[in-house]
Amino acid sequence: MKLLAITQKVLIVTGIILPRLILPGESDAADPYEAIRNELVETRIANAGVTNVRVLDAIRSTPRHEFVPKSQLARAYFDMALPIGSSQTISSPFIVASMTEALDPKPTDIVLEIGTGSGYQAAVLSPLVEHVYSIEIVDELGEQAKRTLTRLGYPNVSTRVGDGFLGWPEASPFDKIIVTCSPESVPKPLVEQLREGGQLIIPVGERYQQTLYRMTKTNGELVRQPLRPTLFVPMTGEAEDTRQQKPDPANPHVVNGDFELAAEADQSELTDYVPGWYYGRQVVRIERAGIIGGANDNTTGRGGGDGAGVSAFARFTNDTPGLSSHLLQGIAIDGKQVTMIRLSGKCRTKNVQKGPTSEAMPVVAISFYDSLRQDLGTFSIGPFRGTRSWSASSRLMRVPPQTKEAILRIGLFGATGTADFDDISIEKID
């Protein structure tokens, strides 16, 4: 139980609020994970905005624990991405549910999935559509997913090992295509294999700056609708070989850490959206005076009496203990080239009270990962309690030498009240 408690503490600090765990012997049901899966759907997926009943039922009935490695079994029903080997991950349940809902699956749909991974997304789609064709470029992952899907009984899922950039031409045209890895731009073969009027759900963009789109084929062209900023593993093969913009892991930096960058016109309708960041929950970008304390509080944006010296910042507000309120950002960082960094930020709070655990408090946290996306540790500045005016905090931290990337997190993380953040930065220390 000590290891479990430590795991819970780390995950809460990094922004993953856990559902109640079922311990061995606690349930005599044929499916000992049923209760925790239902709780995951209610507290982490439905509450976060997924409303399609068929999709929610599919998440409830799909045994995610069958699709994760044994080393990750204890975290199978946490709302988080998990490593599955070969530098790949299984997406968080919320993202799987959100993408599936965006696809608007119909019982008559023929669907192409690019990036089989563990097979979990294909399994979720299986009861919702007529047939799923799924392609995985990594041999061992593709073969393992095929064995898992066959063993569990998904007869309407066909898999193959190959480069998803090329699609599955002999099975086309497809009513829907869902891509669970990120290319820099949409592969032309996928456009050709999508039927007229069909929909494509795909994350597109730079390695750590992506937007999930719904694209509808109209008169042979794709009409784009942005859905949310996101972070997926890259589409490898031809898509990665031809990528024009690549990250610089020797010089890590925070994108829009001062929140000066505003949304583009086609992104203005997105909720919880702050440019440069992804998976926002209960957050808004503020461009004007941020009045927390009422009419007599003179704290403002740029030139404010509290010394904030900014014209925009991110505000997190939460009234329900334990409910997520955060922003995340992926960062390229090579631990062999960057041995130490300074993590800095400013925070202002109003009536902040801790959430269900003592760790559910506002922080600025960074988690490091190796080339296989195994967690190497989390470091933070904070927590920030009660009511406080703008103040700056920083911390020097050593970067584990195995580090290949990091996830930066800011927010309330289950605490209640209001927290404003600004000037979030990472400085490489030579």
Residue 39 lies in a domain: yes
Q: Same domain, yes or no, for 213 and 275?
A: no
Specify the amino acid at residue 308.
A
CA dist 31 and 73 (Å) reads: 15
Q: Same domain, yes or no, for 188 and 84?
A: yes
CA dist 343 and 424 (Å) reads: 8
Range of the structural domain that residue 366 is part of: 265-428
pLDDT number for residue 242: 77
Q: Is the Cβ–Cβ distance between 341 and 426 less than 8 Å?
A: yes
* Distance (Å) of CA 93 to CA 67, 263, 392: 12, 27, 35
SS3 category, 179: strand
Q: Is the Cβ–Cβ distance between 384 and 363 less than 8 Å?
A: yes
Q: Radius of gyration (Cα) for the chain, nearest Å?
A: 22
Element (H or E) spanning 114, and its range?
A: strand 110-114
| Confidence (pTM) | 0.79
- CATH for 229: 3.40.50.150
Classify residue 43 by its DSSP letter.
Answer: I
Q: Same domain, yes or no, for 78 and 7?
A: yes
Please count the structural domains in the chain.
Answer: 2
Is 91 marked active-site? Answer: yes
Q: Same domain, yes or no, for 318 and 383?
A: yes
* Residue found by looking up tokens 């749909």 in the block: 109
Q: Same domain, yes or no, for 100 and 226?
A: yes
> Residue 83's closest CA among 335, 397, 367?
367
CA dist 296 and 302 (Å) reads: 18
Residue 258 lies in a domain: no
Domain end position, chosen among 226, 241, 256: 241
Q: Same domain, yes or no, for 209 and 315?
A: no
Residue 355 lies in a domain: yes
Residue 257 lies in a domain: no
Q: Same domain, yes or no, for 154 and 283?
A: no
CA dist 154 and 149 (Å) reads: 6
Catalytic residue among 91, 98, 134, 344: 91
Q: Same domain, yes or no, for 207 and 301?
A: no
Q: Is the Cβ–Cβ distance between 227 and 315 less than 8 Å?
A: no
The pLDDT profile of the chain, 430 residues, written as one tens digit per residue, is 233 333 334 443 444 444 444 444 444 457 889 999 999 999 889 988 899 999 999 999 999 999 999 999 999 999 888 999 888 889 999 999 999 999 999 999 999 999 999 999 999 999 999 999 999 999 999 999 999 999 999 999 999 999 999 999 999 999 999 999 889 889 999 999 999 999 999 999 888 888 999 999 999 999 999 988 888 888 888 777 777 888 899 999 999 999 998 887 666 667 788 999 998 989 999 986 544 544 334 444 433 434 444 489 999 999 999 888 999 999 999 999 999 999 999 999 999 999 988 789 999 999 999 988 889 999 999 999 999 999 999 999 999 999 999 999 999 999 999 999 999 999 999 8
Q: Same domain, yes or no, for 270 and 144?
A: no
Q: Same domain, yes or no, for 22 and 95?
A: yes
